Chain A
Amino acid sequence: MRWLWIDCIVEHEEGKRLVAIKNVSLAEDVLHDHVIDGKPIMPFSLLIEGVAQTAGILVGSTSKFKEKVILAKIAKASLDCDVTAGDTVRYDTTINRLDEAGASTSGTIDRRVASGEAWERIGRVELLFSHIDNNMSGTEFPEDNFVFSNNFKMILETAGLADLAE
């Protein structure tokens, strides 16, 4: 099973943009392992993973999930403030460039605190993905697409986007 760090897809523009949200909960063990000054904090690395999963689905959707899309490089990542239990985060991702070798994407992280209604921009993440069956070294990988598992299909179905994978 793959560890999902997004809860659902909320917007999709085919081949261009995908937006997902994540509700941060104290039920997640990782917050208990990442307490700073008494406050449970969502690790930045997992926020980046959330952006990567959102952008990865977007990149994968352009090939109907036939390509194995692997996060290859975090080109830039910045975060202005912490995310904690009760917050909702929104990952808004777009494709800058896509070709047979891979894709570059830009993403933003917005936060809505439990007591508020407004979204606040708190982070920016630029990522590079590789289509690993088309890598520069010519290395071969298993035929089965181990990247986009049933978990991802469930997220697509929940968002009414199951046809993206067909």
Chain B
Amino acid sequence: MNRDAIFEKIQEVLDDALGVDEDEVTPDASLTADLGAESIDFLDIVFRLEKTFDFKISQGELFPENLTENPDWVADGNLTDAGLAMLKERMTHVDFTAIEAGDRNISKIGDLITVNSLVNFVEIKLAG
């Protein structure tokens, strides 16, 4: 399945999970900031991706979870160098450039999950 086909299926998934129009689902759209996703929507999206693409997604594999439980990763609400390194290693589907260069507040991490990062994720899963 090529990226265009994956993207079209993800448009349908987000249309069902978030009630957004397909034309709002652009590659750069952030799930939280642009498409209004809340935390429970991520579980919904995980279940729908599994059904659509017929693979299993482990907890924390697609979206970062429970970061604040580890003080090595988060200090004073900000992602540490170790936390960032861990995320970059585990989540190769996400582009961390914006948070690397600027605000490292963990509330900003959700904004990094874009439609494009979902396409990357599915592409990696299907290849692997």
Q: Which residues on A are within 8 Å of B, measured CB to CB?
A: 72-73, 75, 96-97, 99-102, 104, 128, 130, 134-138
Does A128 contact B68, Cβ atoms closer than 8 Å?
no
From A99, A104, A134, A137, B39 is in contact (CB under 8 Å) with A137
CA distance A82 to B5 in the complex (A): 41
Other CB < 8 Å A-B pairs besides A72-B40, A137-B66, 19 of them? A73-B41, A73-B44, A75-B16, A75-B17, A96-B47, A97-B47, A97-B50, A99-B59, A101-B46, A101-B59, A128-B43, A130-B40, A130-B43, A136-B42, A136-B65, A136-B66, A137-B39, A137-B68, A138-B68
Instruction: Answer yes or no: B51 CB below 8 A from chain A CBs.
Output: yes
Closest B residue to A136 by CB, please name it.
Answer: B65
Of the A-B pairs whose beta carbons lie under 8 Å apart in the complex, a sample of 7, sorted by A's number, is A73-B44, A75-B17, A75-B44, A130-B40, A136-B42, A137-B66, A138-B69
Instruction: Answer yes or no: B63 CB below 8 A from chain A CBs.
Output: yes
CA distance A104 to B42 in the complex (A): 12
Q: How far is the CB of B71 from chain A (nearest CB, A)?
A: 13
Q: How far is the CB of B103 from chain A (nearest CB, A)?
A: 20
From A75, A97, A130, B51 is in contact (CB under 8 Å) with A97
Chain B residues with Cβ below 8 Å from A100 are: 59
Chain A residues with Cβ below 8 Å from B43 are: 72, 101-102, 128, 130, 136
Chain B residues with Cβ below 8 Å from A135 are: 39
CA distance A57 to B47 in the complex (A): 20
Closest B residue to A131 by CB, please name it.
Answer: B43
Q: How far is the CB of A67 from chain B (nearest CB, A)?
A: 14
CA distance A137 to B63 in the complex (A): 11
Closest B residue to A135 by CB, please name it.
Answer: B39
For window 46-70 of chain B, which residues contact chain A by CB distance below 8 Å? 46-47, 50-51, 59, 63, 65-66, 68-69
CA distance A102 to B65 in the complex (A): 14
Chain B residues with Cβ below 8 Å from A137 are: 39, 66, 68
For window 92-112 of chain B, which residues contact chain A by CB distance below 8 Å? none
Chain A residues with Cβ below 8 Å from B63 are: 136
Chain B residues with Cβ below 8 Å from A138 are: 65-66, 68-69
Q: Given A97-B50, A136-B63, do A104 and B44 touch, yes or no (CB 8 Å)?
A: yes
Does B40 contact A104, Cβ atoms closer than 8 Å?
no
Q: How far is the CB of B74 from chain A (nearest CB, A)?
A: 11
CA distance A68 to B121 in the complex (A): 30
Does B40 contact A73, Cβ atoms closer than 8 Å?
yes
CA distance A68 to B17 in the complex (A): 23
